[in-house]
Structure 1
Amino acid sequence: MLPPTSAIADVLQLRGREGWLSPPLLPVHRAPAVLGTARTVRLAAGPGGLTPLHRLLDEDLGGRVIVIAGAEAAAGAVWGEILTVSALRAGAVGAVVEGGVRDVGAVRELGLPLWALHEATAGPGPLVHVAAVGERVSVAGVPVADGDMIVMDGGGVVAVPDRRVLADAGAYAAAEADVVTALRAGASLAEAYRHKADLVAALRAGHARRELREPARPPAAWR
């Protein structure tokens, strides 16, 4: 069972890392928890079109989450009903679009988990192109490499750097459940929170120990 994205995001925070893409991405279609691997696309301003993205959707995308960075460069939506049908046919389990999407009603009926920056009525326009496929991209300032784990659920979407984060997030979610159980049994918040406090301290301490072992490198000009 996957831990919720909120628990994953909290663990990343406690480790001094980032990874959550929501916000600024917002849900177009929320769905039960999905774990997939990123298939990355980077768009950029300028003529050229989206043909490489369309070709990508003819690949075998089983278990993949399509991650489209830089889509805010388009005049309108770069994703809609047609691409959703294509993605589902190819086996994709979700899509993340750093830009506009349309045909939201149809997308929700089709059921593909989808998060994006905003809705748009018009299409992408002629002044956007696919700059790269399968390369490391940045979405909302978070680096995502092709093949990275992506977790999507009703609460958000998170890029997960390694499976240890999932294990810690599972323990974190269990501790939060214990807090809720204690509150319902009549404990004060201070008493109930003790179920979670030790784990939070351990995660913070682990981050501090890593910082001590791995001091920041000096700027290149100093070396």
Structure 2
Amino acid sequence: MRLSNEIMNDMKQANKDEIRQRYLAVDTSNVADVLDTLDYLDQGLSSDFAPFPIRRDGIKLAGWAYTIRGQMTAFPLGGDDDKMQACQGLSAGEISVWSGDGEGICYFGELIALGMKERGCVGAVLDGGIRDVRWIGQHGFPVFARYRTPVQSIGRWKVNAWQVPVVLRGATSNFVSVKPGDFILGDDDGAIVIPAPLVEQVLAESERLTATEAAIRTQLSEGLTLAEALAKYGHV
């Protein structure tokens, strides 16, 4: 017979999977509005973070934060064992969140992306660079990164910690704090961080806003005027 804590872990994972799927159906704009009402005003990431690959049908990124931190460090060519070890800890439904002082270099390319995907990782957010953009796109691995570059990190930038609080450049503040287990949502409007204690509350209210907006769009298409919509629904 399986131990009760194993069954509980499965239930928790199932709940996390359900939450992730539901977040995929809401927009970052609605999430941002909900966070404003809760006085979390600075959760959006900088507009420098761009989606890769760029797709005509848009891109969506949703998952639980698994944080990785590094710094510019000269070291011999041959690999970064700490980076490999950090990536081994990724689990299903998680997004790898990369932070550090790297400039002009990529934090990872195609092969590491494939390794992360094999572990169930559902995307990445990089406060730094990415390369092998074409190939990563063909593997269906969504990434938000500050820039793209052909220059590797080996010999230049080294991972020094993982699953610790990190900071990423922000949209309305210099930095946004990301802790392991926070939730990351990204789409064509950008990316935003939902603190772990608020994930379910923000989701429920974002779903309510999404349903209201859908109703407004339907009624506008049926002849409702904008003035009538504002009178009926107020600001949304």
Q: TM-score, normalised by structure 1?
A: 0.79
- Whether the 8 Å contact between 2:90 and 2:96 is mirrored in structure 1 is no
Query: What is the RMSD of the two structures over their aligned residues, measured on CA atoms?
Result: 2.2
Residue from 82, 89, 97 that aligns with 1:59: 89
**Structure 1 residues 172 and 121, CA gap change in structure 2 (3 angstroms):** same
Q: State the AA in 2 paired with 1:147.
A: G
**Structure 1 residues 34 and 115, CA gap change in structure 2 (3 angstroms):** closer
Residue 69 of structure 1 corresponds to 99
Q: State the AA in 2 paired with 1:57.
A: C
Q: State the AA in 2 paired with 1:69.
A: S
CA distance in 1, matches of 2:37, 2:50: 23
SS at match of 1:57: helix
By how many angstroms is 1:34 displaced? 4.8
The 5 Å alignment of 1:34-53 reads 34-47=61-74, 50-53=80-83
**Structure 1 residues 176 and 143, CA gap change in structure 2 (3 angstroms):** same
Residue 140 of structure 2 corresponds to 111
By how many angstroms is 1:6 displaced? 2.0
Matched, 1:142 2:182: no
Residue 80 of structure 1 corresponds to 109
Q: State the AA in 2 paired with 1:182.
A: Q
**Paired residues, number:** 198
Residue 6 of structure 1 corresponds to 29
Residue from 193, 196, 199 that aligns with 2:230: 193
The 5 Å alignment of 1:137-216 reads 137-140=166-169, 141-161=175-195, 162=198, 163-197=200-234
Q: State the AA in 2 paired with 1:56.
A: A
SS at match of 2:88: coil
Unaligned runs of 5+ in 1: 201-223
Residue 21 of structure 1 corresponds to 45
Residue identity (%): 29
**Structure 1 residues 168 and 194, CA gap change in structure 2 (3 angstroms):** farther
The 5 Å alignment of 1:122-141 reads 122-140=151-169, 141=175
- Whether the 8 Å contact between 2:60 and 2:142 is mirrored in structure 1 is no
Unaligned runs of 5+ in 2: 1-21, 170-174
Matched, 1:100 2:129: yes
CA distance in 2, matches of 1:106, 1:41: 22
